[in-house]
């Protein structure tokens, strides 16, 4: 709304906006299909909400406008880029602890930014793995919850748990205590020489590091909360154990790539 819709239509009456105008506006995003399509979906949803509330009736100029073709994004950080990013973020922990921790947690856990934004302390349990290391198990509603009806689970490996423990305590109970740190990310990726890399690509990097290390793709899918399976309590426990082990392996590998000394 603020970036793409409001500048064009913000001063207009909803009833005065035509399909032709919306189509021309949407065509302007041909070189940015993701932004254009998400903005069109948002605009259409606003009209749908207006109709539900009786504000506008029978008017939705976004109907029948086809979205731009989208190519599936396959970008992830190379080992050199990952080494640079983790090094920069470790340095930034001294001056921007919450923001740097937020980005490091995406890399070390594969968590969605939206989950980290609202995660609270009471949602994370601490468990001891078979190897005797302490892990965090964060549960809460996420993107897949609306489809599956189940909570998402994010495994917090020991090195990521140390990052969380280093963040100043937040009064509202949020674990990280900040929103997606876009300004810091722009600075980090520029310094690291990967300005086309999105912060969300760190999720894909997490998965790529896991697959290159031999972690089963089904386990990786569960770590990323791509799908949820219906299991009995016994199988759920075994499944969690497997995820904890895999998450630890991936996080350790990322630490090795980055040659980062764990926070004490």
Q: What is the pLDDT of residue 240?
A: 86
Say how many C-beta atoms besides its own lie within 10 A of residue 150's C-beta. Answer: 15
Q: What is the mean pLDDT of the chain?
A: 89
**pLDDT digit string, tens, across residues 102-141:** 999 999 999 999 999 999 999 999 999 999 999 999 998 7
- Distance between CA 138 and CA 7 in Å, rounded? 39
- Distance between CA 63 and CA 256 in Å, rounded? 50
Q: What is the pLDDT of residue 84?
A: 96
**pLDDT digit string, tens, across residues 11-58:** 999 889 999 999 999 999 999 998 999 999 999 999 999 988 888 877
User: Which phi and psi angles does 190 have, rounded to 5°?
Assistant: -65, -45
- Distance between CA 84 and CA 193 in Å, rounded? 9
- What is the reported pTM? 0.75
Q: What is the pLDDT of residue 141?
A: 75
Burial 85-102 (b: 16+ CB within 10 A, else e): bbbbbbebbeebbbbbbb
Q: Tokens representing 90?
A: 């470790």
229 pLDDT higher than 50: no
Cα angle value 175/179/182 (rounded, 5°):
135
158 pLDDT higher than 50: yes
């Amino acid at each position: 709304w603020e970036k793409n819709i409001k500048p064009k239509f913000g001063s207009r009456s909803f009833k005065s906006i035509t399909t032709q105008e919306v189509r021309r506006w949407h065509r302007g995003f041909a070189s940015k299909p993701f932004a254009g399509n998400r903005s069109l979906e948002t605009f259409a949803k606003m009209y749908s909400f207006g109709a539900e509330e009786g504000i506008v009736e029978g008017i939705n100029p976004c109907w029948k406008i086809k979205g731009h073709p989208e190519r599936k994004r396959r970008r992830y950080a190379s080992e050199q880029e990952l080494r640079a990013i983790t090094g920069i973020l470790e340095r930034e922990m001294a001056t921007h602890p919450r923001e740097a921790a937020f980005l490091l947690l995406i890399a070390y856990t594969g968590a969605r930014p939206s989950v980290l934004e609202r995660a609270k302390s009471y949602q994370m349990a601490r468990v001891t793995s078979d190897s005797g290391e302490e892990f965090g198990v964060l549960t809460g509603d996420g993107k897949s919850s609306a489809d599956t009806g189940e909570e998402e689970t994010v495994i917090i490996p020991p090195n990521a748990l140390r990052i969380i423990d280093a963040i100043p305590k937040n009064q509202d109970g949020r674990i990280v205590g900040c929103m997606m740190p876009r300004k810091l990310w722009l600075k980090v990726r520029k310094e690291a020489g990967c300005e086309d890399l999105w912060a969300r690509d760190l999720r894909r990097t997490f998965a790529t590091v896991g697959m290159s290390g031999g972690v089963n793709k089904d386990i990786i899918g569960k770590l990323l909360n791509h799908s949820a399976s219906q299991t009995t309590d016994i199988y759920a426990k075994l499944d969690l154990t497997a995820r904890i082990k895999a998450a630890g392996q991936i996080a350790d590998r990322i630490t090795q790539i980055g040659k980062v000394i764990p926070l004490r």
